[in-house]
């Protein structure tokens, strides 16, 4: 699937399933990209990945020839967004979008003039996304994270932003935003689910994609059934630890027998 095809599917609100990359481990990323996910997200905000690691991860994803590579950028600012797109990302997930003005700024950073203010310098992206500016604009997706109290309050206006392709729920920060003492706080479960429903409804009304970050594969189905159109599963670092723990427990249990 090309970047243009991926963009069309996401904008058409087709169901997509992705995976989260937090480790600067290109060989591992390449293997994950081969298993059948629609996209992989390279996390530059909270992942253990710098600029060169981001480039290497996108190279690994492209080498696998299956999933499309997205980048969660560190902040809503043109330089970081431009770096990710010039490195060959098929799109960006932008954190901490609080207002429709924030969303419009994110969209502008992903589009070339006259539609936006992206600077022309596709060092890698011209090989994969584009290469003509109008083609790059049509093939590049921009997704806003709704994860703050202000973003939640403005979610309908954010979703109505021209050029925005989707919104994305980071459940940890959204839980804190509705008053949770910690991510997954059961004391605010009702408030959290109301917020989740509000975001999904706003995206559906605007006709844009809505994504959710889930902790495991089993968690994706219910959110997709709820009306979310794409889901990203956990991350490589968490699954590496979980696999190691499982093998250790199995080994000790076997030894005790």
- The pLDDT of residue 125: 85
Residue 210 contacts residue 200 (beta carbons within 8 Å): yes
For the cut 70, the answer to whether the pLDDT of residue 256 exceeds it is no
- Residues whose CB is less than 8 angstroms from the CB of residue 218 and which lie 6 or more positions away in sequence, other chains included: none
- The pLDDT of residue 122: 85
Structure pTM? Answer: 0.94
pLDDT in tens, 219-246: 999 999 999 999 999 999 999 999 999 9
- Measured CA to CA, the distance from residue 146 to residue 154 in angstroms comes to 9
Lowest average pLDDT, out of 129-133, 168-172, 240-244, goes to: 129-133
Which tokens hold the place of 176? 């804190």
Tell me: cis bond preceding 60? Omega within 30 of 0 counts.
no
From the list 46, 51, 182, 247, the catalytic residue is: 46
- The three-state secondary structure class of 196 is helix
Residue 126 contacts residue 175 (beta carbons within 8 Å): no
Is 46 annotated as catalytic?
yes
- Angle among Cα 76, 78, 83 to the nearest 5 degrees reads 105
Q: What percent of the chain has pLDDT over 90?
A: 91
Which tokens hold the place of 180? 């949770």
Which tokens hold the place of 156? 């309908």
pLDDT in tens, 194-225: 999 999 999 999 999 999 999 999 999 999 99
pLDDT in tens, 95-106: 999 999 999 999
């Amino acid at each position: 699937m090309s970047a243009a095809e991926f963009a069309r599917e996401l904008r058409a609100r087709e169901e997509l399933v992705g995976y989260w990359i937090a480790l600067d481990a290109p060989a591992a990323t390449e293997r994950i990209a081969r298993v059948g996910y629609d996209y992989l997200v390279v996390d530059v905000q909270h992942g253990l990945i710098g600029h060169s690691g981001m480039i290497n991860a996108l190279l690994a994803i492209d080498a696998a020839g299956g999933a499309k590579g997205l980048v969660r950028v560190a902040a809503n600012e043109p330089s970081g967004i431009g770096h990710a797109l010039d490195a060959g990302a098929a799109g960006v997930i932008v954190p901490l979008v609080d207002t429709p003005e924030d969303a419009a700024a994110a969209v502008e950073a992903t589009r070339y003039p006259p539609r936006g203010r992206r600077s022309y310098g596709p060092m890698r992206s011209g090989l994969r996304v584009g290469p003509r500016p109008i083609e790059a604009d049509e093939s590049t997706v921009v997704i806003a994270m709704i994860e703050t109290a202000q973003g939640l309050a403005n979610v309908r206006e954010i979703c109505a932003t021209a050029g925005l392709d989707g919104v994305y729920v980071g459940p940890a920060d959204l839980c804190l935003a509705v008053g949770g003492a910690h991510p997954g706080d059961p004391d605010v479960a009702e408030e959290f689910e109301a917020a989740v429903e509000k975001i999904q409804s706003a995206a559906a009304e605007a006709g844009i994609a809505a994504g959710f970050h889930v902790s495991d594969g089993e968690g994706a189905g219910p959110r997709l059934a709820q009306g979310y159109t794409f889901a990203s599963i956990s991350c490589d670092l968490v699954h590496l630890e979980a696999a190691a723990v499982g093998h250790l427990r199995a080994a000790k249990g076997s030894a005790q027998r």
